[in-house]
Amino acid sequence: MFLIPLLVLIYTLMIDNWRAGKADMAAVISTFIVGALQKETRPTLQGILTSIEETGRILLDIVGVTTLAGLVIGAFQLSGLTFKFALLLVTMAGGNVLLLLVLTAIVCIILGMSLPTTVVYIMLAVLVGPALVQVGIPPLAAHLFLFYFGMLSLITPPDCIATYVAASIARANFWKAGWTGMRLGIVAYVVPFVFVFHPALLFKGTVQEIAIAVVSAIIGVVLLGIGAAGYLFRPLGWGKRMLMSLAGLLLIPPPADAYWIAANVIGLTLGLLLWLLERGGTPLRRPSLADPDRGGG
C-alpha cells in the first residue's frame, strides 16, 4: 500500500512535471484507494475522522516551525546577507582550499535554512563555484560539494525542517529528533570533502583506483555509521563508539598516497578488531520472569 503511492508520487512529480502540492494529493488519494482495496487496511469512518484530527495537530506544529523559517527568509533577503555571505568567504579563505571548503559548507547550511535547496545551489554555483574551480578543485566535485551542503540544512539544527516534520508525525521531541538526525547523518558531512580531495570516488581515475576507493569508502561509511548509531550486535559504549568512528574516518579517504594507505590499514585493522570483539562477545539475554533480580519465583 506504500509502494504504489510512492510510484505515483515519483511519476507525477519527476516525469509528468506536476506541481508539488498536486503530486502530493495524487499520492494521498492513491494511498486511500489502495488501502480501501485491502481488507487489512480498509479505513473506517472513525479511522478517517481520527486521521483528520491527528493531521490537524501535526500541521499546527509544522506551521510554527515554518513561520519562524519565514522570518529568517525575510531577514536574509531584506538585509542582503544572502549574497554578501558568498562573496565574503572567498576573501576570508585567503587561498587556503580546506578553509575555503569549510567556510563554503557553513554558508551553504546557513543559506539552506532560509532558502530552498535549488536556490542555494544555483546561487553558490554562480558566486562560489568558479572560486572553488580556480583553486584546483574539479568542477564536478565543487558542484556536488555545494549541492550536498545545501541539502544538509534540512537535517542540521536549529532549522532542520525535514527532521521537525518527521518529529511532528512521530510525536517526538523536536530538539532531540534534530540532534539525533544530525548524528545519524554524520557521514553526509564528511563525504563532500572526500569528493574534493579524492576524485576517485567520482569515478575519476583508473579502474583499480576507483574500485579501491569505493570499497574503502563503503567500509568506512559502515563503521562510521555504527559509531554514530551506537549499535553493533548490541549497544556500544562511548569508548567503542569513538573507536568505530575513528576507524571509519580513517577508511573513508581512498589510499591515494603512503599517508592515506597507512591510515586505511590502521582504520581497517581497528574496525575489524572491534567487529570481531563484538561478534564474539556474549549476546544480550532478555531477563525472564524467573530471574532473581526481577523478583520472580
Domain ranges of the chain: 1-43, 56-197, 199-281
Provide the whole-model pTM. 0.58
DSSP notation for 154-177: GSSTTS-HHHHHHHHHHT--HHHH
| Dist. CA 114–CA 102, nearest whole Å | 19
Contact 189, 152 (CB under 8 A): yes
pLDDT at 255: 63
Please give the Cα distance from 297 to 210 (Å, whole number): 61
The whole-number pLDDT of residue 73 equals 61
Q: What is the pLDDT of residue 292?
A: 47
Dump pLDDT digits (tens) for 132-150.
777 777 888 888 888 888 7
State the pLDDT at residue 294: 45
Residue 250, burial from CB neighbour count under 10 angstroms (0-12, 13-18, 19+): buried
Report the candidate in 159, 178, 74 with the shortest Cα–Cα distance to residue 110.
159
**DSSP tag of 295:** T
Residues of the chain where predicted confidence (pLDDT) is lower than 70: 61, 65-66, 68-70, 72-73, 76-77, 80-87, 93, 95, 112-120, 254-257, 260, 281-297
Q: How far apart are CA 266 and CA 223, in angstroms?
A: 13
Q: Determine the residue type at 73.
A: I
Contact 155, 179 (CB under 8 A): no
**CA–CA distance, 285 with 207 (Å, rounded to integer):** 46
pLDDT value, residue 297: 39
Query: Which residue type, as a one-letter code, is found at position 11?
Result: Y
